[in-house]
Copies of this chain bind each other. A is one copy, B any other.
Amino acid sequence: DVSATDFQSSHNTVTLPGLVNVAGVVPDIAIAGSSDIADFTKVSLRSGFTFSRLLPMGVSESIIDLASLQTAQANAEGHSFTDYNLSVAATAHNANEVGKVTGKVGSLVLPFSKLGDNTTKVAAISEHFGAWPANKPIVTDATTTDLASILLLASLHNRPIHVTGVVDKNDIVLVAMAKERGLAVTCDVSVFALFFAREDYPEAHSLPTQEDQDALWANLATIDCFSVGILPSQMAKELGQPVVAGLGVAETLPLLLSAVADKRLTVEDIEARLYTNPVRIFELVEQPDTSIVVNLGRKYTFKSKGLWSPMAGKPATGSVERVIVGGQTVVLEGDLNGASTGKAISIHPQAAPVEAAPATQEMV
């Protein structure tokens, strides 16, 4: 934890560690020359995130092997505004190929949803559980019976599993049941799932129903992490908006802080789910002298700054005043500090061989 004594704090201001986004969606993550990672991490840093776990599933190409990983690495290296790690997505046929990138990624993702290809075959998933190193995180976005199936396989293979982007009532109840019975399962919920419901956006089929959303709030204790996740991108797509990098990022903290103002959440609820639990689950080390200053009481009208947002023009309470990385203020009232803008943040493979020390911050 970062001490509050570094900064002058008022009754309206709290200092938190730099936030971790456990599930960042980058549409062209594996397309050569894409600036999506730069764009995504730029809005992330401005919004209080200092670490981004980037999901491997892109819109047309995903990170599924060494070649696509190298493409994503090239897009990230020297261009990312936050510390980050990349992951690799499982397919029905890449269990062996994945072995070649294990040391270079933060986790294996078993994708079932929306952007990635579907690997529902039990055999393929089982193969991946067999091949992936026991000490590295496995993540899935599976739902309903696919989720139950993955939880069983994780349990049979004695592996912890992280479920990302839980939306459905049945799924959060299943995760709660599995936790109760001692399965090593954790989960995140997209902040959008807590605040936007299908009843208000009938075309946005990926959103929870009000009943689902109520169940998510009722199971807050089961939710280990809040994430940006895939949901803002799905919602945009379903509403006919362009899917670009950074959707939903800027809204995350204002939505949560407004819920603090409404007494639906505490600041500690947020810190646990955007820092403490993410760091523990994904074995991230603390970023030195990195913190954010949040103004809890500030009331304002949310501005979307070029990206589609369901919050655009709506009232919000609470915002990021300052982002400090390595002792330097890199964001002040939403403005990026020029000196830090181009700072390359390198990748942090878990349990990877020690790299030649780069001229950048390292989390691991």
Q: Interface on A for B, CB 8 Å cutoff?
A: 120-123, 126, 144-153, 155-156, 158, 169-171, 173-174, 177-178, 180-181
Contact = CB atoms under 8 A, between A and B. Distances in A.
A152 B171 CA distance: 13
Contacts of A144: 120-122, 149
A145 B170 contact: no
A100 to B, nearest CB: 26
Nearest to A151: B152
> Interface residues of A: mostly helix, strand, loop or mixed?
helix
A121 B147 CA distance: 12
A121 B173 CA distance: 13
B173 A145 contact: no
Contact of A173 (B123, B148, B155): B123
Contacts of A149: 144-145, 148-149, 152
The 4 A-B pairs of least Cβ separation, nearest first, read A148-B149, A152-B152, A145-B149, A148-B152
Nearest to A149: B148
Contacts of A148: 122, 145, 148-150, 152-153
A129 to B, nearest CB: 10
26 contacts: A120-B144, A120-B145, A121-B144, A121-B170, A122-B144, A122-B147, A122-B148, A122-B170, A123-B169, A123-B170, A123-B173, A126-B170, A126-B174, A145-B148, A145-B149, A148-B148, A148-B149, A148-B152, A148-B153, A149-B149, A149-B152, A152-B178, A155-B155, A156-B178, A156-B181, A158-B181
A148 to B, nearest CB: 3
Contacts of A145: 120, 122, 145-146, 148-149
A22 to B, nearest CB: 24
Nearest to A180: B156
Contacts of A150: 148
A122 B156 contact: no
Contacts of A170: 121-123, 126
A181 B153 contact: no
A152 B152 CA distance: 5
Contacts of A181: 155-156, 158
A229 to B, nearest CB: 21
Contacts of A153: 148
Given A120-B145, A148-B150, A151-B152, 14 more contacts: A122-B144, A122-B174, A123-B169, A123-B170, A126-B174, A144-B149, A145-B148, A148-B148, A148-B153, A152-B155, A156-B178, A156-B180, A156-B181, A158-B181
Contacts of A158: 181
Contacts of A151: 152
A48 B173 CA distance: 47
A120 to B, nearest CB: 6
A182 to B, nearest CB: 10
A250 B180 CA distance: 48
A144 to B, nearest CB: 5
Contacts of A123: 169-170, 173
A200 to B, nearest CB: 24
Nearest to A145: B149
